[in-house]
Amino acid sequence: MYAQGQDGLMSTYRSAWRTRSPRTYALSALIIGLYCALYFTDVFEPIAQALHLRNKWFLYGTVYSILMIGGGLYFLKAHGNSRYHKIRIAVNVAIQVVLGLSLPYAMAFFGHPDYYFSYFWPLKYDYLMPGTLNYLPWYLALYSVVGAFIIVPFGALFFGKRWYCSWVCGCGALANTFGDPWRHMTSTSTESWRFEKVSIYAVLVFILVATAMMFGDWFGGNQIGWFHETAEWTKYIYGFLVGSILSGVIGTGVYPILGPRIWCRNFCPMAAILGITQKAGRFRIAVKPDMCISCGNCSTYCEMGIDVRAYAQQNETFTRSSCVGCGMCAHVCPRGVLKLENAWDENTDKANAGQLTIEF
């Protein structure tokens, strides 16, 4: 197994730092503490100044990139016998280093507003709010609108949410690199699935309401006092609760004890939109009939808590809105049962197996 570069599977439950243990709880508490210090204090500003970085957010971006590179090397050591994963992780890291770190820094250096080309509304919630669109140069404002309403949803229609969640997004990239050692910690319980269904759409409704209120306020010329205050307050609460606590403090802080995709699975409004689109699109995980030996590797290593084995046992090709298309279920399957596909046609495996098929 090691000779194949698959020591990741073998070592999963042997390492105390990859199971719920005092040291993983301590690591989780440390990450949560660092995020709180970053978001709610200025203790990192002197370090940023000493390193000649513009502010603490550029320090954060630098540390984020270093963790992603280190995690990417770990991932490739554990799972690097797959060409798909080699390319995917290389793209993740390249996008972070070029679009997430270097380009915003260069833009700020040359006096332009720093802009993160790999993030779109509603993940970067202020990129579609009137205050930001007014402030951005016209080409960046246009990019924000086209990205949010055309590039992202049409990409998901054709390729599933994996093109964004597993290849482009910085949150997903950190989860798949720095967070990879804990992917098996994701809950597959029915309760976690019920929670996910409510929480992710609740956050989506929240950002839709907040964005609509900001536009309403803007169209009213910010003149209706009570409405202006309510809109600003709603945006502030969203930024604090979702933008800071859920995405950063909780989303990253609990990697070592609850798995690396807590934010993506339960709270990311972009994942909610992409998931709806994915269900209507052509992405699916094809199951080869009568091949599954029920080992459970696929369910164990699914970072989104999907019980892939249950589908495989029933010879059922499936599309789940929460699936980020990381490909790990197919990678760890010892029988080659699973395959990530993009196709509009009727599923042939299911048709061969005499199962009902879903027409897209």
CA pair distance 210, 240, nearest whole angstrom: 13
Q: By CB under 6 A, is residue 9 in contact with ligand SF4?
A: no
Q: By CB under 6 A, is residue 293 in contact with ligand SF4?
A: yes
Tell me the per-residue interface mask from 31 to 70 with ligand SF4, x by CB under 6 A, - otherwise.
----------------------------------------
Minimum distance from CB of 159 to ligand SF4 (Å)?
A: 13
Q: By CB under 6 A, is residue 298 in contact with ligand SF4?
A: yes
Tell me the per-residue interface mask from 224 to 263 with ligand SF4, x by CB under 6 A, - otherwise.
----------------------------------------
Of residues 61, 165, 45, 47, the one with CA closest to residue 104: 61
358 dihedral zone (left: phi>0; alpha: psi -120 to 50; beta)? beta
Report yes or no: 294 and 346 within 8 Å, Cβ to Cβ. no
Minimum distance from CB of 298 to ligand SF4 (Å)?
A: 3
Rank residues 269 and 327 by Cβ distance to ligand SF4 and give the closer one.
327
Applying CB under 6 A, the span of 65-73, 81-89, 268-276, 324-332 interacting with ligand SF4 comes to 324-332
Rank residues 131 and 296 by Cβ distance to ligand SF4 and give the closer one.
296
Of residues 71, 165, 58, 68, the one with CA closest to residue 116: 58
Minimum distance from CB of 152 to ligand SF4 (Å)?
A: 18
Answer for which of 164, 231, 338, 350 binds ligand SF4 (CB under 6 A) is: 338
Tell me the per-residue interface mask from 271 to 290 with ligand SF4, x by CB under 6 A, - otherwise.
--------------x-----
SS3 96: helix
Minimum distance from CB of 21 to ligand SF4 (Å)?
A: 24
Q: By CB under 6 A, is residue 292 in contact with ligand SF4?
A: yes
Q: In what helix (H) or strand (E) does residue 340 lie, and over which residues does it extend?
A: strand 338-342
Residues facing residue 284 across a β-bridge? 341
Report yes or no: 335 and 296 within 8 Å, Cβ to Cβ. no
Q: In the block, which residue shows the tokens 């760890």?
A: 332
315 dihedral zone (left: phi>0; alpha: psi -120 to 50; beta)? left
CA pair distance 255, 175, nearest whole angstrom: 8
Q: By CB under 6 A, is residue 312 in contact with ligand SF4?
A: yes
Contacts of 277 (CB under 8 A, 6+ apart): 153, 156, 157, 161
Q: By CB under 6 A, is residue 324 in contact with ligand SF4?
A: yes
Residues in the site for ligand SF4, rule: CB under 6 A?
A: 285, 292-298, 302-304, 306, 308-309, 312, 323-329, 333-335, 337-338
